[in-house]
Amino acid sequence: MQYLFLSFLITFFAVILILKTRIANIALDEPNQRSLHTKLTPRIGGLAIMAGILISWLASAWSVSATNWYWVLFPFILMLTSLTDDIYQLSVKWRLLIQLTASAVFLLVILPHQALWLIILLTLLITWMTNLFNFMDGSDGLAGGMGLFGFATYAIAAYLMGDMHLALMNGVIVAACFAFLLFNFHPAKIFMGDSGSIPLGFLAGSIGVYGYFNALWPVWFPILVFSPFIMDATVTLIKRQMAGEKIWQAHRSHYYQRLVQMGLGHKKTAIVEYFLMLSIAVTAILLLKQSIIYILLALFFWVIAYLIIMRWIDKCWVQTQKSA
């Protein structure tokens, strides 16, 4: 428990340090036609989150053991790369190369005897999850909330399965996200930025894979846990690709962005998303020890629910555009 408290305190005071000093000017989010915000805001809150997480992990006995160095190293590398991108705007190809390399080496370390095709597939999936978190970091409190609910669900599942180390690891992430949300919930004083969203996305994917191959949860579990982000980002980018748009270009067509633009605003959109995340989290935990028929029925329910929700938002968006 002390490491969770340490993570919270480090993140909390690191955010204050950023906001009260010139560090905040390292990278500022400038409002533009693709932004949902209207004022200049620091976007390096991820540094505070990762400081809380990585320092707390290093302070705990298990994190410095020879078998767990990768949990600290790869998020740290991705944080530095993403901070550089926040400041100097790295090209997409260099960012992707570093992300793919980090994901591949991580998998080769924890799964040394798996087939090459599986390593390649999982590398692509973790890299997708890494960027997916970044795509969804565009509204006050959203990415921090997904971090809180998502990793809390991982922590509970790991605890129920008897893996106290992984439960602690995820609990530390939850504490850091909670501290950050105190400053990021609407009206946000600071944004997460790539330095937080990219490492958190990597951890969401890599911990999900680690848990599956260590028999802590089934393959559907991490997908369901982070489905609020997975569904929104994946469907949105497929639609943009089909429309001939550049999928890596900044835009305002994610479903959560349209909720904000249709009048729900940042605060209410975050609350609605939190309710969805909590509902998903409860479902995922309850399904862990259920029979296959209940699992399939629940997964089918959520697929239909997502389709209905997205279809409703699409219809409301068209009506909003017509009346504008």
Give the model confidence (pLDDT) of 182-228 as tens digits.
999 988 899 998 999 999 999 999 999 999 999 999 999 999 999 99
Question: Sorting pLDDT into bands at 50, 70 and 90, what band is 250?
Answer: low
Q: Is 90 exceeded by the pLDDT of residue 152?
A: yes
Q: Is the pLDDT of residue 277 over 90?
A: yes
Residue 44: name the closest of 77, 87, 89 by CA.
87
How far apart CA 104 and CA 119 sit, in angstroms, is: 7
- Whether residue 33 has pLDDT greater than 60: no
Instruction: State which amino acid sits at residue 224.
Output: L
pLDDT of residue 38: 64
* Three-state helix/strand/coil letters over 148-200: HHHHHHHHHHHHHCCCHHHHHHHHHHHHHHHHHHHHHCCCCCCCCCHHHHHHH
pLDDT > 70: what percent of the chain? Answer: 93
Three-state secondary-structure class, residue 42: strand
Q: Which pLDDT does position 242 carry in this prediction?
A: 82
Helix (H, G, I), strand (E, B) or coil at 137: coil
Q: What pLDDT digit, counting tens, does each position of 83-92 carry?
A: 988 888 888 8
> What pLDDT, on a 0 to 100 scale, did the predictor assign at position 138?
79
Q: pLDDT band at 240, cuts 50/70/90?
A: confident
Look up residue 260 and give its DSSP letter.
I
Whether 31 has a pLDDT exceeding 80, the answer reads no
Residue 36 confidence (pLDDT) above 80: no
* Least confidently predicted of 10-14, 58-62, 154-158: 58-62
Angle (CA) 262-265-270 rounded to 5° is: 120
Structure tokens at 8: 């919270």
Instruction: Give me 47's structure tokens.
Output: 């540094």
Cβ count within 10 A of residue 156: 18
Q: Provide the domain count of the chain.
A: 1
The confidence score (pLDDT) of residue 282 equals 97
pTM of the model: 0.93
Taking 90 as the threshold, does the pLDDT of residue 74 lie above it?
yes
67 confidence band (pLDDT: 50, 70, 90): very low
Of 254 and 30, more confident: 254
Spatial separation of the C-alpha atoms in residues 285 and 283, rounded to whole Å: 6
Q: Which domain holds residue 300?
A: 2-323
Position 150 scores a pLDDT of 97
Please tell me the predicted confidence (pLDDT) of residue 248: 66
pLDDT value at position 65?
A: 47
